[in-house]
Each structure stands twice: as structure tokens, then as C-alpha cells.
Amino acid sequence: MVVEDDVVIQQFLNILLTQKGYRVMVVGQGTEVITACHNYKPDLLLLDIMMPGMDGFEICRKMREESYLPIIILSAKDETADKILGLTLGCDDYITKPFDCVELLLRIKAILSRENRHRENSRDIVKLPGLTVNRITRVTVVGGIEVDLTPKEFDLLWLLSNNPVQVFTREQLLYQIWNLDHYGDSAIVTTLVKRLRKKIEPDAANPFYVKTVQGIGYKLGVKPC
């Protein structure tokens, strides 16, 4: 789904993506996006920020309250603060205009391929001592109580719990969770880890589940049951 109010860009993206075999739906009003996603269930949202009615940041925030649909922000707003805001709100990638067509297509393909690999290769449920993570329902239960995690918090917990022996650098987490391979602020990872620990750790100051590996990054602190 292409969310863009500029008719020329709408037409260009429609032609570009259709030629590559994608089925494309174009939405030109920000207020129509949520309903359109409910009705048509796209595989990926290509989202402009400066939209009439509701801007892209607000659309992204509302989508993440109810959906884990992959979102790529495609915007002329190229300030670092805008990129950080978009990623913090839960978008999977942020590309600035003017954009390179090949890069855009590769990033779309990478995100869709990653989603397919997650569905095909991951176990559906991981059980840790006192904690259960369900990939299908996106539900996390700690001590018998369901914990409300944001999409990125869940993605981080699932990645660590599904790879119990691996130590992830902050750069790897930027790529795995936000698909950031060309730019990215590692402080985003640090903030996400802190938020997750507050929700799942018995003592966030002495983490049990998400361990820091000094000078490297993070790993799962316990073995799956």
C-alpha cells in the first residue's frame, strides 16, 4: 500500500512496483489509511509523512497500537531527528526523497523476505523460566501475567529468546529490528533494552533475561526450557 498525496509520485511508485510484480493500492489521504489496512490487509506500507488529514508519524503510531504490518517511511524530511522519531514509533525502515529506485526495491524485498523467513523458520513459542513468548499471537507472559509489549520490544525479546546462544551487537540489532544497515543511532537499542527490562525483569537493575555483554551488546541470560 502506497500512502502518498503527490499524484506524480503516486503514479511513479505504482508503475515501478507493478513492473516488479507487486500488487499496489494507493491511498492519498492520511485519514483513510487505517480503514484501508483493515479492509485490504497489505503486506507492507510505504508511507509518506506529510499527508493531509493525518501525518505519517501519527499513522505509524496508530498502526503500531494494533498491527505489526511492515512500514517503510518514504519522506522528504531528512533530518536525523525525523528518522529517529519514525523508528521510535515503530517503522521498519526510513528512506529519504529523492530516493534511488534500486535501493527502494531492495529494501522492500529485504523486509518482505525477512518476514517470510520469520514465519517459515522460527519456532512459534519459546518458554523461559517464568516467561513465555508466543510469536504467532505476539503475546508475552511473565509469571503467569500477560505483559503489554510494543512491537519493537516484542521483536527484541523474540530475537534474543529464539537465538539463546548468540551475542548480538548493537549494530546487528539495528539491522535485525529496524533494518538499519546504512545509518542508525545505537542509543535507540539502549533505550529499547531499558524499556523491555522494565516490563519483564524481576529487577531491571540486575537483569535476568536480557544480559549486557560488556563492550559487545546483548544476549539472552537464561536457557529455554
Q: Give residue-wise pLDDT tens across range 35-61.
A: 999 888 899 999 999 998 899 999 998
What distance in Å separates the CA atoms of residue 6 and residue 112, rounded to the nearest whole number?
Answer: 25
Per-residue pLDDT band for 182 (boundaries 50, 70, 90) equals: very low
In the chain the domains, ranked by start, together with CATH numbers, are 2-120 (3.40.50.2300), 123-220 (1.10.10.10)
In the sheet where 168-169 sits, what is the strand order?
A: 168-169, 217-220, 210-213
Return the C-alpha cell found at 19. 513492473
Residue of 83, 79, 46 lying closest to 63 (CA atoms): 46
**Average pLDDT of the chain?**
90
Which amino acid type is present at position 190?
Answer: T
Please tell me the predicted confidence (pLDDT) of residue 224.
Answer: 87
Q: How far apart are CA 24 and CA 1, in angstroms?
A: 6
What pairs with residue 95 in β-bridges?
Answer: 74
Span 124-145, mean pLDDT? Answer: 92
- Residues 1-5 have a mean pLDDT of 96
Q: What is the pLDDT of residue 119?
A: 59
Alpha carbons 168 and 213: distance in angstroms, whole number: 9
Distance of CA 127 to the CA centre of its chain: 23
| pLDDT of res. 122 | 52
Which of 34-43, 143-152, 175-184 is predicted least confidently? 175-184
pTM confidence score: 0.58
Range name among 49-53, 96-100, 122-126 with the lowest pLDDT average: 122-126
Q: Are the C-beta atoms of 128 and 200 separated by less than 8 Å?
A: no
Lowest mean pLDDT among 80-89, 141-150, 156-165, 172-181: 172-181
